Homo-oligomer: A and B are copies of this chain.
Protein backbone atom coordinates (compact mmCIF):
# COMPACT_ATOMS: atom_id res chain seq x y z
CA UNK A 1 0.00 0.00 0.00
CA UNK A 2 2.83 2.35 -0.70
CA UNK A 3 1.96 5.48 -2.57
CA UNK A 4 3.55 8.82 -3.05
CA UNK A 5 3.52 11.12 -0.06
CA UNK A 6 2.67 14.70 0.45
CA UNK A 7 6.33 15.45 0.90
CA UNK A 8 7.13 14.06 -2.52
CA UNK A 9 4.40 16.10 -4.09
CA UNK A 10 5.63 19.19 -2.30
CA UNK A 11 9.20 18.64 -3.42
CA UNK A 12 8.14 18.08 -7.00
CA UNK A 13 6.08 21.25 -6.90
CA UNK A 14 8.87 23.12 -5.20
CA UNK A 15 6.84 24.10 -2.16
CA UNK A 16 6.68 23.11 1.47
CA UNK A 17 4.59 20.19 2.66
CA UNK A 18 2.40 22.63 4.54
CA UNK A 19 1.50 24.47 1.39
CA UNK A 20 0.88 21.28 -0.48
CA UNK A 21 -1.41 20.18 2.30
CA UNK A 22 -3.33 23.43 2.15
CA UNK A 23 -3.84 23.06 -1.55
CA UNK A 24 -4.72 19.41 -1.68
CA UNK A 25 -6.86 19.05 1.39
CA UNK A 26 -9.12 21.99 2.01
CA UNK A 27 -7.77 24.45 4.52
CA UNK A 28 -9.05 27.74 5.83
CA UNK A 29 -6.40 29.66 3.97
CA UNK A 30 -6.54 29.66 0.21
CA UNK A 31 -3.07 29.33 -1.28
CA UNK A 32 -1.84 31.40 -4.17
CA UNK A 33 -3.21 30.73 -7.59
CA UNK A 34 -0.08 29.71 -9.48
CA UNK A 35 1.22 27.67 -6.57
CA UNK A 36 -2.00 25.75 -6.28
CA UNK A 37 -1.76 24.90 -9.92
CA UNK A 38 1.76 23.52 -9.60
CA UNK A 39 0.89 21.47 -6.56
CA UNK A 40 -2.15 19.98 -8.17
CA UNK A 41 -0.19 19.10 -11.26
CA UNK A 42 2.51 17.46 -9.19
CA UNK A 43 -0.06 15.49 -7.23
CA UNK A 44 -1.75 14.30 -10.38
CA UNK A 45 1.46 13.27 -12.05
CA UNK A 46 2.48 11.25 -9.01
CA UNK A 47 -0.95 9.74 -8.53
CA UNK A 48 -0.98 11.11 -5.02
CA UNK A 49 -3.69 9.78 -2.70
CA UNK A 50 -3.81 11.32 0.74
CA UNK A 51 -3.23 8.86 3.55
CA UNK A 52 -6.37 8.96 5.64
CA UNK A 53 -4.64 7.16 8.50
CA UNK A 54 -2.09 9.89 8.80
CA UNK A 55 -4.71 12.56 8.51
CA UNK A 56 -6.75 10.87 11.18
CA UNK A 57 -3.75 10.73 13.44
CA UNK A 58 -2.94 14.34 12.90
CA UNK A 59 -6.46 15.66 13.23
CA UNK A 60 -7.80 13.00 15.55
CA UNK A 61 -10.92 12.50 13.51
CA UNK A 62 -11.48 9.48 11.37
CA UNK A 63 -14.82 9.94 9.66
CA UNK A 64 -15.66 6.36 10.51
CA UNK A 65 -18.97 4.94 11.71
CA UNK A 66 -19.16 1.40 13.00
CA UNK A 67 -22.26 -0.68 12.36
CA UNK A 68 -23.02 -3.83 14.29
CA UNK A 69 -25.71 -6.22 13.07
CA UNK A 70 -26.56 -9.83 13.72
CA UNK A 71 -26.47 -10.83 10.08
CA UNK A 72 -26.09 -8.49 7.15
CA UNK A 73 -27.89 -10.95 4.87
CA UNK A 74 -31.05 -10.80 6.95
CA UNK A 75 -33.40 -8.36 5.22
CA UNK A 76 -34.27 -6.73 8.53
CA UNK A 77 -30.67 -5.78 9.11
CA UNK A 78 -29.82 -5.01 5.55
CA UNK A 79 -32.68 -2.51 5.43
CA UNK A 80 -31.34 -0.81 8.52
CA UNK A 81 -27.86 -0.95 7.06
CA UNK A 82 -29.05 0.90 4.02
CA UNK A 83 -30.36 3.68 6.19
CA UNK A 84 -27.11 3.85 8.10
CA UNK A 85 -25.11 3.87 4.92
CA UNK A 86 -27.25 6.64 3.45
CA UNK A 87 -26.91 8.85 6.47
CA UNK A 88 -23.21 8.17 6.60
CA UNK A 89 -22.71 9.07 3.02
CA UNK A 90 -24.72 12.22 3.45
CA UNK A 91 -22.45 13.25 6.29
CA UNK A 92 -19.34 12.15 4.44
CA UNK A 93 -18.53 9.27 6.70
CA UNK A 94 -17.57 5.72 5.86
CA UNK A 95 -19.13 2.75 7.51
CA UNK A 96 -17.29 -0.14 9.05
CA UNK A 97 -19.36 -3.29 9.20
CA UNK A 98 -19.36 -6.03 11.81
CA UNK A 99 -21.65 -9.00 12.07
CA UNK A 100 -22.01 -10.90 15.29
CA UNK A 101 -24.94 -13.33 15.15
CA UNK A 102 -26.17 -11.46 18.16
CA UNK A 103 -23.54 -12.99 20.39
CA UNK A 104 -22.71 -10.47 23.10
CA UNK A 105 -19.11 -11.60 23.19
CA UNK A 106 -18.71 -10.90 19.50
CA UNK A 107 -20.46 -7.59 19.90
CA UNK A 108 -18.03 -6.64 22.58
CA UNK A 109 -15.18 -7.57 20.27
CA UNK A 110 -16.72 -5.48 17.51
CA UNK A 111 -17.04 -2.47 19.79
CA UNK A 112 -13.43 -2.88 20.82
CA UNK A 113 -12.33 -3.08 17.22
CA UNK A 114 -14.29 0.05 16.34
CA UNK A 115 -12.88 1.83 19.35
CA UNK A 116 -9.38 0.89 18.27
CA UNK A 117 -10.06 2.33 14.86
CA UNK A 118 -11.37 5.43 16.58
CA UNK A 119 -14.76 5.26 14.90
CA UNK A 120 -16.63 8.44 15.74
CA UNK A 121 -19.82 6.60 16.41
CA UNK A 122 -21.15 3.11 16.62
CA UNK A 123 -24.62 2.00 15.63
CA UNK A 124 -25.70 -1.20 17.19
CA UNK A 125 -28.76 -2.97 15.85
CA UNK A 126 -30.36 -6.22 16.82
CA UNK A 127 -32.14 -7.46 19.85
CA UNK A 128 -30.26 -7.96 23.06
CA UNK A 129 -30.73 -11.05 25.14
CA UNK A 130 -31.32 -10.94 28.87
CA UNK A 131 -30.93 -14.64 29.08
CA UNK A 132 -28.85 -15.96 31.95
CA UNK A 133 -26.03 -17.47 29.99
CA UNK A 134 -25.45 -14.17 28.25
CA UNK A 135 -25.39 -12.17 31.44
CA UNK A 136 -21.64 -12.06 31.88
CA UNK A 137 -21.00 -11.22 28.25
CA UNK A 138 -23.68 -8.55 28.37
CA UNK A 139 -21.94 -6.88 31.25
CA UNK A 140 -18.67 -6.87 29.38
CA UNK A 141 -20.36 -5.48 26.32
CA UNK A 142 -21.92 -2.73 28.36
CA UNK A 143 -18.57 -1.97 29.95
CA UNK A 144 -16.90 -1.78 26.57
CA UNK A 145 -19.56 0.57 25.28
CA UNK A 146 -19.35 2.73 28.36
CA UNK A 147 -15.62 3.01 28.02
CA UNK A 148 -16.04 3.92 24.39
CA UNK A 149 -18.47 6.67 25.33
CA UNK A 150 -16.26 7.91 28.10
CA UNK A 151 -13.54 8.39 25.53
CA UNK A 152 -15.87 10.57 23.52
CA UNK A 153 -17.55 8.01 21.32
CA UNK A 154 -21.24 8.16 20.53
CA UNK A 155 -23.40 5.13 20.24
CA UNK A 156 -26.70 4.76 18.45
CA UNK A 157 -28.88 1.94 19.64
CA UNK A 158 -31.73 0.52 17.62
CA UNK A 159 -34.70 -0.75 19.52
CA UNK A 160 -34.08 -0.95 23.20
CA UNK A 161 -31.23 0.32 25.37
CA UNK A 162 -28.31 -2.05 25.70
CA UNK A 163 -28.73 -4.27 28.71
CA UNK A 164 -26.71 -3.09 31.65
CA UNK A 165 -25.52 0.19 30.26
CA UNK A 166 -25.27 2.63 33.11
CA UNK A 167 -24.31 5.91 31.59
CA UNK A 168 -26.63 7.85 29.40
CA UNK A 169 -24.18 10.36 28.01
CA UNK A 170 -23.10 9.44 24.53
CA UNK A 171 -25.98 7.09 23.92
CA UNK A 172 -28.69 7.82 21.43
CA UNK A 173 -31.55 5.36 21.31
CA UNK A 174 -34.06 5.00 18.53
CA UNK A 175 -37.01 3.56 20.33
CA UNK A 176 -39.06 1.02 18.45
CA UNK A 177 -42.48 0.74 20.07
CA UNK A 178 -42.60 -3.02 19.83
CA UNK A 179 -45.02 -3.52 22.65
CA UNK A 180 -47.44 -0.82 21.60
CA UNK A 181 -47.51 -1.91 17.98
CA UNK A 182 -47.87 -5.55 18.93
CA UNK A 183 -50.77 -4.60 21.13
CA UNK A 184 -52.44 -2.65 18.36
CA UNK A 185 -51.83 -5.44 15.93
CA UNK A 186 -53.26 -8.08 18.21
CA UNK A 187 -56.19 -5.84 19.07
CA UNK A 188 -57.02 -5.35 15.42
CA UNK A 189 -56.67 -9.00 14.57
CA UNK A 190 -58.44 -10.06 17.74
CA UNK A 191 -61.50 -8.07 16.82
CA UNK A 192 -62.06 -10.25 13.78
CA UNK A 193 -61.12 -13.60 15.22
CA UNK A 194 -62.27 -15.81 18.03
CA UNK A 195 -59.07 -17.70 18.49
CA UNK A 196 -57.46 -19.85 19.66
CA UNK A 197 -54.31 -17.71 19.49
CA UNK A 198 -50.75 -18.85 19.17
CA UNK A 199 -47.58 -16.81 19.35
CA UNK A 200 -44.48 -18.03 17.59
CA UNK A 201 -41.84 -16.31 19.63
CA UNK A 202 -38.08 -16.18 19.69
CA UNK A 203 -36.05 -17.50 22.60
CA UNK A 204 -37.09 -16.28 26.00
CA UNK A 205 -35.05 -13.31 27.11
CA UNK A 206 -34.68 -11.83 23.65
CA UNK A 207 -35.91 -8.36 24.42
CA UNK A 208 -37.58 -7.60 21.11
CA UNK A 209 -39.39 -10.89 21.10
CA UNK A 210 -40.44 -10.55 24.73
CA UNK A 211 -41.77 -7.05 24.12
CA UNK A 212 -43.80 -8.19 21.18
CA UNK A 213 -45.20 -11.18 23.02
CA UNK A 214 -46.25 -8.98 25.90
CA UNK A 215 -47.91 -6.52 23.56
CA UNK A 216 -49.78 -9.22 21.74
CA UNK A 217 -51.15 -10.66 24.95
CA UNK A 218 -52.30 -7.26 26.06
CA UNK A 219 -53.88 -6.56 22.71
CA UNK A 220 -55.79 -9.81 22.88
CA UNK A 221 -56.94 -8.96 26.37
CA UNK A 222 -58.06 -5.56 25.12
CA UNK A 223 -60.21 -7.31 22.56
CA UNK A 224 -61.62 -9.60 25.18
CA UNK A 225 -59.87 -12.62 23.78
CA UNK A 226 -58.14 -15.44 25.61
CA UNK A 227 -54.38 -15.32 26.04
CA UNK A 228 -52.26 -16.92 23.36
CA UNK A 229 -50.21 -20.02 23.87
CA UNK A 230 -46.55 -19.53 23.14
CA UNK A 231 -44.31 -21.63 20.93
CA UNK A 232 -40.61 -20.78 21.09
CA UNK A 233 -38.10 -21.25 18.34
CA UNK A 234 -34.99 -19.60 16.95
CA UNK A 235 -35.61 -16.03 15.81
CA UNK A 236 -35.39 -16.65 12.07
CA UNK A 237 -37.01 -18.28 9.07
CA UNK A 238 -36.07 -21.78 10.10
CA UNK A 239 -37.24 -21.21 13.63
CA UNK A 240 -40.57 -20.19 12.20
CA UNK A 241 -40.61 -23.30 10.10
CA UNK A 242 -39.98 -25.56 13.09
CA UNK A 243 -42.72 -23.88 15.02
CA UNK A 244 -45.01 -24.13 12.03
CA UNK A 245 -44.47 -27.87 11.78
CA UNK A 246 -45.39 -28.27 15.40
CA UNK A 247 -48.46 -26.10 15.03
CA UNK A 248 -49.56 -27.99 11.95
CA UNK A 249 -49.34 -31.22 13.88
CA UNK A 250 -51.44 -29.71 16.63
CA UNK A 251 -54.08 -28.66 14.17
CA UNK A 252 -54.15 -32.09 12.61
CA UNK A 253 -54.39 -33.99 15.84
CA UNK A 254 -56.68 -31.57 17.49
CA UNK A 255 -59.05 -30.03 14.98
CA UNK A 256 -61.06 -27.11 16.20
CA UNK A 257 -61.76 -23.50 15.41
CA UNK A 258 -59.32 -21.83 13.08
CA UNK A 259 -56.27 -20.65 15.01
CA UNK A 260 -54.61 -17.28 14.70
CA UNK A 261 -50.82 -17.30 14.67
CA UNK A 262 -48.73 -14.28 15.57
CA UNK A 263 -45.09 -14.65 14.59
CA UNK A 264 -42.55 -12.45 16.33
CA UNK A 265 -41.30 -11.18 13.00
CA UNK A 266 -42.02 -11.47 9.29
CA UNK A 267 -39.18 -13.81 8.59
CA UNK A 268 -40.48 -16.28 11.15
CA UNK A 269 -43.97 -15.82 9.74
CA UNK A 270 -42.72 -16.86 6.33
CA UNK A 271 -41.23 -19.97 7.89
CA UNK A 272 -44.52 -20.73 9.59
CA UNK A 273 -46.38 -20.26 6.33
CA UNK A 274 -44.02 -22.61 4.54
CA UNK A 275 -44.47 -25.28 7.20
CA UNK A 276 -48.23 -25.01 7.15
CA UNK A 277 -48.26 -25.25 3.40
CA UNK A 278 -45.99 -28.29 3.47
CA UNK A 279 -48.53 -29.86 5.76
CA UNK A 280 -51.44 -29.17 3.51
CA UNK A 281 -52.77 -26.28 5.50
CA UNK A 282 -53.69 -22.99 3.88
CA UNK A 283 -53.49 -19.44 5.12
CA UNK A 284 -55.85 -17.81 5.94
CA UNK A 285 -58.33 -20.62 5.37
CA UNK A 286 -56.95 -23.03 7.95
CA UNK A 287 -55.06 -20.56 10.08
CA UNK A 288 -54.69 -16.82 10.17
CA UNK A 289 -51.12 -15.53 10.31
CA UNK A 290 -49.50 -12.24 11.20
CA UNK A 291 -45.89 -11.13 11.21
CA UNK A 292 -43.97 -8.09 12.37
CA UNK A 293 -41.58 -5.64 10.61
CA UNK A 294 -43.11 -5.54 7.13
CA UNK A 295 -39.91 -6.51 5.38
CA UNK A 296 -39.83 -5.01 1.92
CA UNK A 297 -38.74 -8.14 0.11
CA UNK A 298 -41.52 -10.14 1.61
CA UNK A 299 -44.34 -7.90 0.48
CA UNK A 300 -44.91 -9.86 -2.69
CA UNK A 301 -45.60 -13.03 -0.76
CA UNK A 302 -49.11 -14.43 -0.94
CA UNK A 303 -51.18 -14.42 1.06
CA UNK A 304 -49.90 -10.95 1.86
CA UNK A 305 -48.84 -10.75 5.46
CA UNK A 306 -50.70 -8.78 8.08
CA UNK A 307 -47.94 -7.16 10.07
CA UNK A 308 -46.64 -4.15 11.94
CA UNK A 309 -44.89 -1.85 9.53
CA UNK A 310 -41.57 -0.48 10.71
CA UNK A 311 -39.65 2.15 8.72
CA UNK A 312 -36.43 0.17 8.92
CA UNK A 313 -34.35 2.31 6.66
CA UNK A 314 -35.46 5.42 8.52
CA UNK A 315 -34.57 3.75 11.78
CA UNK A 316 -31.06 3.21 10.53
CA UNK A 317 -30.85 6.81 9.41
CA UNK A 318 -32.09 8.16 12.70
CA UNK A 319 -29.76 6.03 14.76
CA UNK A 320 -26.84 7.26 12.71
CA UNK A 321 -27.78 10.89 12.54
CA UNK A 322 -28.54 10.87 16.25
CA UNK A 323 -24.93 10.04 16.99
CA UNK A 324 -23.73 12.77 14.69
CA UNK A 325 -25.87 15.61 16.00
CA UNK A 326 -25.12 17.07 19.36
CA UNK A 327 -28.69 17.92 20.16
CA UNK A 328 -30.86 14.90 19.28
CA UNK A 329 -32.77 13.49 22.17
CA UNK A 330 -33.95 9.91 21.92
CA UNK A 331 -35.96 9.41 18.76
CA UNK A 332 -39.14 7.42 18.67
CA UNK A 333 -40.47 6.06 15.48
CA UNK A 334 -44.12 5.53 14.86
CA UNK A 335 -44.79 2.43 12.86
CA UNK A 336 -48.29 1.24 12.06
CA UNK A 337 -50.42 -1.83 11.76
CA UNK A 338 -50.96 -3.14 8.27
CA UNK A 339 -53.83 -5.54 7.75
CA UNK A 340 -53.59 -7.83 4.77
CA UNK A 341 -54.91 -11.09 3.43
CA UNK A 342 -53.10 -13.47 5.76
CA UNK A 343 -55.59 -12.64 8.48
CA UNK A 344 -58.51 -12.46 6.14
CA UNK A 345 -58.34 -8.73 5.42
CA UNK A 346 -58.21 -7.20 1.96
Point out residues on A near B: beta carbons under 8 Å: 1-3, 47, 49-54, 56-57, 60-62, 67, 71-75, 78-79, 81-82, 85, 89, 94-99, 112-113, 115-118, 120, 147, 150-153, 237, 270-271, 273-274, 277, 296-298, 300-302, 313
Residue of B50, B62, B79, B97 touching A73 (CB-CB under 8 A): B79
- By a CB distance below 8 angstroms, the chain B residues around A118 are 1, 51-53
Contacts A51-B116, A52-B117, A75-B297 given; indicate if A151 touches B82 (C-beta within 8 A): no
Residue of B47, B79, B94, B120 touching A117 (CB-CB under 8 A): B94
Nearest to A115 among chain B residues (CB) is B49
Asked whether A78 lies within 8 Å of B85 as measured between CB atoms, the reply is no
- How many copies are assembled? 2
Residue of B2, B50, B54, B98 touching A57 (CB-CB under 8 A): B54
The 9 closest A-B pairs by CB, nearest first: A73-B82, A78-B78, A52-B116, A3-B151, A53-B56, A52-B117, A1-B118, A73-B78, A274-B300
Nearest to A240 among chain B residues (CB) is B300
- By a CB distance below 8 angstroms, the chain B residues around A3 are 115, 151
- By a CB distance below 8 angstroms, the chain B residues around A152 are 1-2
17 contacts between A and B (CB under 8 A): A1-B62, A2-B60, A2-B152, A3-B115, A3-B151, A49-B147, A51-B57, A52-B113, A53-B62, A71-B82, A72-B72, A72-B81, A73-B313, A75-B75, A78-B78, A94-B113, A297-B297
CB distance from A263 to the nearest CB of B (A): 13
CB distance from A62 to the nearest CB of B (A): 7
- By a CB distance below 8 angstroms, the chain B residues around A53 are 53, 56-57, 62, 117-118
- Other than the given A47-B147, A73-B296, A96-B97, 12 more pairs (CB < 8 A) read A1-B118, A1-B151, A1-B153, A2-B151, A3-B151, A53-B62, A71-B82, A73-B79, A78-B78, A85-B99, A94-B96, A96-B96
Residue of B49, B51, B147, B300 touching A270 (CB-CB under 8 A): B300
CB distance from A98 to the nearest CB of B (A): 7
Nearest to A120 among chain B residues (CB) is B1
CA distance A303 to B217 in the complex (A): 34
- By a CB distance below 8 angstroms, the chain B residues around A99 are 82, 85, 89
CA distance A81 to B73 in the complex (A): 7
CA distance A94 to B110 in the complex (A): 9
Asked whether B72 lies within 8 Å of A75 as measured between CB atoms, the reply is no
CA distance A147 to B277 in the complex (A): 54
- By a CB distance below 8 angstroms, the chain B residues around A298 are 297
